[in-house]
Structure 1
Amino acid sequence: MTPATSAPTRVTTYGELAARARAGELGPDPAAQRISVAFTTRQAVRHDGRGTGYRNEVLSLRLAEAVGSCAVEPGTLSDSAVDDCAGADVARLLDHPLLPVRVAALDAYLAHISPHTPGNGARPVPLPAGTSLEKSRARARAVVELLDLPPGATVLVVGVVNSLLEALRARELGYVPCDLKGGVTEWDETVATDALSEAERCDALLVSGMTLGNGTFEPLRQHALRHGKQLVMFAQTGSAVLPRFLDSGVSAVCAEPYPFFWLEGGPGTVHRYRADRPGDAR
């Protein structure tokens, strides 16, 4: 099927975006769009040379040629929830009781109607083939380059990825690591758990798309908008959702639709968006 194409419509809140999609205001009737495949991807990671590891689990829904995704806490998504998505129409899933299902459905729908193309504001950035750590570092550089900050500035990092922290260190940028799971970084730095309380003392925000799936995105977006701070999103979750908030608190997005960099060792692509100059990937 040839995907529908629609220049992304900017919105002011996540609730508005979901409501407009549900009402069919952004593209074709979501009740007529059916999810053909629903699946989860689970991984455990410990890169060579790194002292710590982590686990990920992601729900993905396929709509025609597009795949929408939302990360979940490992082990929290039941098989019955996945089964419930296969064959369902998008409209029903946009009203699903589970937030990750609603986010993945919205992501699939928006990826279908507005693919990551230059015409829709995206600029592709190639990731070279390599080991899991080499690809993680390449992705991190692509993300951190979207921050326009002088050395010595402090960045709130929501969703701790050690390669991102390493890339910030290389830029001589300070950071406050934050993640709902807490813990410590590769460098034994304490990971905060309350992102909004830490945001006040930071110059910019670097935030995972996972915040869409746990309901913490909107307060961070509103903080950035209210204080005029840069908010850069790195998005496997909601890669097609978050570009809709450019100029509404989000300053840039590094979008990474499925398949993600950690799934295989060959070359890949991420797509960068900027609010000030849409599609500029400088």
Structure 2
Amino acid sequence: MTAVTGAAGAVAYERCRTYADLVDRVRAGGLGPDPATQRIAVAFTTRQAVRHDGRGTGYRNEVLSLRLAEAVGSCAVEPGSLPDSALDDCVGADVARLLEHPLLPMRVAALDAYLMHVTPHSPESGARPVPLPTGSSLEKSRVRAKAVAELIDLPPGATVLVIGVVNSLLEALRACGLQYVPCDLKGGVTEWGEPVVTDALAAADRCDALLVSGMTLGNGTFEPLRRHAQQHDKQLVMFAQTGSAVLPRFLGHGVSAVCAEPYPFFWLDGGAGVVHRYRGPYDNSCQGGHI
């Protein structure tokens, strides 16, 4: 564990070397109240289908969210993959019990809710808010994508492995003069007909940095990617609706920056919103790109 100093000079929280280390610390009550005393009051899923105006393809999302006091923790899942009993398993359950649940997305959402409760996104914990304007889902998506792309410190012409294909992020990377390799477990092609690879670690060897969705927490692929970035001294930038309170804990231990977006997400309504950026040892070099 590593102590982190916030913007005002006070120690905000401790960062962890591995995901298992973080979970063990939470279980032991090392980061806040005993998780056995913290009960989930509300559990819900959010299902979305979208096709932005002017785009040729669409997609679907499903997110499991758990409410702990004032905090909401979330984990994206493959649409339709959660059993009908999932919400009943969560409501009234304590966090300690949910951290032992057989379904990984349940464990991730519970961990996210707990950490959001004990350490919400704030300047004291190193977060810097970036406002999202009112507007269409595509307009808000592009502003969020710019906020994410600015966290990558690479010269034009470098190549980024993008795990979790989001078309607005690919646009933002092109605006920064960066090349990319799109990667997603589902494969297929991007909006512009570019092939989407499915083996992230195989593609990582030929890329200069990794831009990774928090969904990798929920499917168990985050730790191998974190280790790759750490072992090869590559930037690993996370964009996180899943695990937005979890991923900042790994800054300096493989993760170089995080764009955290807790519930409610930008695509839920047309009103103003906010994402929270955390930076590790790298500064961004893509300033003023137009998307």
> Which residue of 221, 246, 259 maps to 2:226?
221
User: Is contact 2:240–2:260 with CA below 8 Å preserved after alignment?
Assistant: yes
| Paired residue type of 2:229 | A
SS in 1 for 2:259: strand
Query: Which whole-Å CA distance do the structure 2 matches of 1:125 and 1:7 have between them?
Result: 20
Q: Identity of paired residues, percent?
A: 80
SS in 2 for 1:224: helix
| Paired residue type of 1:29 | D
Tell me, yes or no, if structure 1 residue 67 matches structure 2 residue 72: yes
Superposed displacement of residue 22, structure 1 = 1.0
> Which residue of 185, 190, 195 maps to 2:195?
190
Moved over 2 A (4+): none
Superposed displacement of residue 277, structure 1 = 7.7
| Paired residue type of 1:212 | L
> Which residue of 14, 19, 23 maps to 1:18?
23
Query: Which whole-Å CA distance do the structure 2 matches of 1:231 and 1:272 have between them?
Result: 14
* 1:251 match: 256
Query: Which whole-Å CA distance do the structure 2 matches of 1:94 and 1:126 have between them?
Result: 32
After superposition, the C-alpha distances for 1:34-80 in whole angstroms (9 at most, x for unaligned) are 00000000000100000010000000000000000000000000120
> Which residue of 149, 153, 156 maps to 1:144?
149
* 1:201 match: 206
| Paired residue type of 1:260 | F
* 2:36 match: 31
> Which residue of 228, 238, 243 maps to 1:238?
243
* 1:166 match: 171
Superposed displacement of residue 168, structure 1 = 0.5
Query: Which whole-Å CA distance do the structure 1 matches of 2:78 and 2:267 have between them?
Result: 17
* 1:46 match: 51
The Cα RMSD (Å) is 1.4
Query: Which whole-Å CA distance do the structure 1 matches of 2:68 and 2:224 have between them?
Result: 30
Query: Which whole-Å CA distance do the structure 1 matches of 2:45 and 2:153 have between them?
Result: 35
Query: Which whole-Å CA distance do the structure 1 matches of 2:281 and 2:83 have between them?
Result: 41
TM-score of the two chains, using structure 1 as the length reference:
0.96
SS in 1 for 2:14: coil
User: Is contact 2:50–2:60 with CA below 8 Å preserved after alignment?
Assistant: yes
> Which residue of 70, 94, 116 maps to 1:89?
94
Query: Which whole-Å CA distance do the structure 1 matches of 2:186 and 2:28 have between them?
Result: 36
Superposed displacement of residue 266, structure 1 = 0.6
* 1:3 match: none
Tell me, yes or no, if structure 1 residue 181 matches structure 2 residue 186: yes
User: Is contact 2:67–2:73 with CA below 8 Å preserved after alignment?
Assistant: yes
Structure 2 segments unaligned to the other structure (5+ residues): 1-10
SS in 1 for 2:15: coil
Query: Which whole-Å CA distance do the structure 2 matches of 1:68 and 1:159 have between them?
Result: 20
User: Is contact 2:256–2:282 with CA below 8 Å preserved after alignment?
Assistant: no
Superposed displacement of residue 172, structure 1 = 1.1
TM-score of the two chains, using structure 2 as the length reference:
0.93
Query: Which whole-Å CA distance do the structure 1 matches of 2:106 and 2:12 have between them?
Result: 24
SS in 2 for 1:97: coil
The more displaced of 233-242 and 15-24 is 15-24
SS in 2 for 1:156: strand
After superposition, the C-alpha distances for 1:196-232 in whole angstroms (9 at most, x for unaligned) are 1000000000000000000000000000000100000
> Which residue of 104, 107, 116 maps to 1:102?
107
Query: Which whole-Å CA distance do the structure 2 matches of 1:123 and 1:74 have between them?
Result: 32
Superposed displacement of residue 82, structure 1 = 1.2
